[in-house]
Amino acid sequence: MQNTRRNALKFIGGAAAGAVFTPAPWRLITDTALWSENWPGVPRPPRGEISARFTNCSICPAGCGVRARCVGGQPVSLAGVAGHPLSRGGLCAFGVAGHHLPYCPGRLTEGPVEEAAGAIARAAANCNPANAASPLAVCSPGETIAVLDLRPGRTASWTYRRAMGAVKNGLYLTAAEAFSGAAVDLAKARTVVSLGAPVLDGWGTPGNVLAARANFRLIQVEAIESRTASLADLWLRIRPGSASTLVLGIAAAMKKGSVTGAAAATGLTERQITDLADELTQHGPALVLPGYDCPEAWALNQLTGGWGETVVARQEAPVPEHWKNCAPVTRLESAPDGSIRTLIIDESAPGDYIPWNAIRRKLVADNPVVIAFAWSPGGYRRHSLFTLPTAVFPETLEDIPAATDSPAAVFRLAVPLVAAPAGVVNPPEFVAKAVGIDASNALRERADAIQKAGRGVLIAYADGRYTPAGQVRPDDFWKALNQGACWMDSEGRRTAPPAADFAAGDAPPADDARLPLVAVLAETAAATAPPSPLMSKLHRESNLRLGRSRAALHPGTARACGAGDGGRAVLETSLGKCEIEVVVDSSVPPGVVQVAAAPEVIDICGASARARVAPL
């Protein structure tokens, strides 16, 4: 046979025909299809034994009970604890994805531990410049070292107070708190007037609020159409920043005084204000809830007849006696300006974000040392000299203070479901150790003190059993708390809280031609801590929430500013500027810029500020 092209082609033709009768081509088709299914980069979920573990969520002070579905010990989904007396099985959007927090991008895992410890120790030591190794953080006479606790009421808060008490010039600071020593009993309320509090959008314990919702008429008094305003039984729209004036107007109306000034300032009619006062006094038991820009409204409850009924005294859970020899609680506002040399801010368990300028004025003018404990960037890390990384839910072992709407004292632990990375510190233990106190057993000591007091009941989540605390042995009490449980104080006789001052609030910001708009904070829930990246489903992949670094304007206002929907712009107030993305929303009142409560925005806006928006 010759080697011709014809023969070669015949060979190939024969081979092709023969190949059809072999498994090769058919298998290659199948295999290619299977290969295309195993796309690189698509993760394979880990396998393991499925179990349920229980804890309490520490993302916000509600401290809702959590049942974690775990695969091989790793939580893969979180849900509420059905039948929980406070959270009623509810868990908010942040809590449902809480198990993602340890893996948030940018999570802090290392920091200057030794320098920070040294700075605290030097500031706390008897100030003697000759002895100090470096002039950094040495206090002059009259200067103080202070701890700013953003979530007071925890066992950690007691540790800070003990640490500052052990030091000659130590101060323990918290932000203004309308509710200290008092709590709200929502179940008793029949009329609730909220002056901007996000009652249906993160206030108190959401499960508790929703369970009580059908029992009360909700009147929301607010400048913008917040989620609560859109769902309330009645929404009264007032001018931004006029809530404090309205408080005085309502108080005047209750005493049959003049409401003309309040009507003029808020934009409500006189009739609306007197009707509001009547509802509070006649359709009780009534409850007045202050918003973030009018904390003094709390005192109105003394005039409605709700004092002692819907607003009740609440003590803390028992505390070991020897702890009480400690620094007193000082309000940040009462600390003298320019007096703090070293400030320690515990941002690991955050509450409301305090604007930085309110803190800065209390620090000494030259080279103050600010040490922040945080688990994520943003927040006070932008202003601190040292930032030390901490653990985050669900890595932490910490207690959660009782929520605003829990009339009884409670004690519950967030227990570690996953291990924290090496290199994180425990803030209260760190500060205590730097001043020479060992607080590593504080939670156990607290639990023992509570069990010893013999009051109240222990509620275990795994089996739903209620056991009187006096009948449980101390070891079993501690073990139960660590396996997911809650101690609740007994229902005592309801008493009225200590009297509240009727301090006048701030006047609305004066008109300013250069800053024609008023900035109002929207979406205040969980402002400081970054949530799971899945939250993009709520503000970027849908329009349900206003995301951070976004601001909403009425279409007319947007046109007047020259900003378009989706455009980048600069938000400027008298305190500074920051970049935002503009969203056009016709539900925003004209003349108002609605901003999401992120730290950089609160720093420049505070409670309510004059602002302008200019396109970039």
Partner 1 sequence: MISEKKPGKICRYGMAIDIDKCTGCGACVIACAVENNVPPGNEGATDLTGITWLRVFKVDNGEEYPARQAVYFPMMCQQCGVETPCYLVCPQQAVDVDPATGVVGQMPERCLGCRYCMAACPYHSRYFNWWDPKWPAGMEKTLNPDVAPRMRGVVEKCNYCHGRWHAARQRAAEAGLRDIIPGDYAPACVEACPAGAIQFGDLNDPSSAPAKAAKDPESFRLLVKLGTEPKVYYHSKREWARRIGDPSQAPAPKEPARG
Partner 2 sequence: MNFWGKIPILAGVLASLCVGWIGFPRVIYSSRPQPVAFSHPVHAQKAGMLCVDCHAPRPDGTYAGVPPLSRCAGCHTTNLGPSAAEKTFIAEYVKPKREPQWAVYARQPENVWFSHTPHIRIAKLQCEECHGDQASSGQPRPYQEDRISGYSRDIWGYEAVGGAVPGMKMDDCIACHRREGLAHSCLDCHK
Residue matched to tokens 């009727």: 502
Residue 40, preceding peptide bond in cis (omega within 30° of 0): no
Residue ranges of E strands in 72-122:
74-80
What number of other Cβ atoms are within 10 A of residue 305's Cβ?
15
Among the listed ranges 18-26, 103-111, 213-221, 526-534, the one in contact with partner 2 (CB under 8 A) is: 18-26
Told to check if 27 binds partner 2 by CB under 8 A, we report yes
Told to check if 544 binds partner 1 by CB under 8 A, we report yes
Told to check if 565 binds partner 1 by CB under 8 A, we report yes
String of contacts with partner 2 for each residue 35-54, x by CB under 8 A: x-xx-----x----xxx---
Widest distance between CA atoms in the chain: 122
Using the rule CB under 8 A, which residue among 3, 17, 21, 37 binds partner 1?
A: 37
Residue matched to tokens 């229902």: 491
Which of partner 2, partner 1, none binds 328 (CB below 5-8 Å, type-dependent)?
none
Q: What is the DSSP string of 85-147?
A: TTTTT---HHHHTGGGGGG-TT------HHHHHHHHHHHHS---TTT-SSSTTPPPTT-EEEE
Contact 244, 505 (CB under 8 A): yes
Beta-bridge mates of residue 175: none
Told to check if 187 binds partner 1 by CB under 8 A, we report no
Q: How far apart are CA 574 and CA 511, in angstroms?
A: 12
Contact 374, 380 (CB under 8 A): yes
Q: At what angle do helices 113-124 and 427-434 cross, to 10 degrees?
A: 50
Contact 239, 286 (CB under 8 A): no
Told to check if 588 binds partner 1 by CB under 8 A, we report no
Among the listed ranges 23-31, 122-130, 202-210, 256-264, the one in contact with partner 1 (CB under 8 A) is: 202-210
Closest to partner 1 by CB, 517 vs 535, is 535
Using the rule CB under 8 A, which residue among 119, 183, 200, 480 binds partner 1?
A: 200
Q: How far apart are CA 204 and CA 514, in angstroms?
A: 38
Closest to partner 2 by CB, 21 vs 422, is 21
Footprint of partner 1 on 88-117 (CB under 8 A): 88-93, 95-97, 99-100, 102-105
Instruction: Give the interface size with partner 2 as a residue count (CB under 8 A).
Output: 30
Minimal distance in Å, beta carbon 69 to partner 2?
11
User: What's at 361, amino acid-wise?
Assistant: R
Residue matched to tokens 């609030």: 505
Footprint of partner 1 on 203-262 (CB under 8 A): 206-207, 210, 213, 225, 227, 230-231, 235, 237
Which of partner 2, partner 1, none binds 153 (CB below 5-8 Å, type-dependent)?
none
DSSP 497: P
Which of partner 1, partner 2, none binds 133 (CB below 5-8 Å, type-dependent)?
none
Told to check if 71 binds partner 1 by CB under 8 A, we report yes
**Interacting residue ranges for partner 1, rule: CB under 8 A:** 37, 39, 41-48, 71, 74-80, 88-93, 95-97, 99-100, 102-105, 200-201, 206-207, 210, 213, 225, 227, 230-231, 235, 237, 532-538, 540-545, 565-566, 583-587
Catalog residues that contact partner 2 under the rule CB under 8 A: 1, 7-8, 10-19, 21-24, 27-28, 30-32, 34-35, 37-38, 44, 49-51
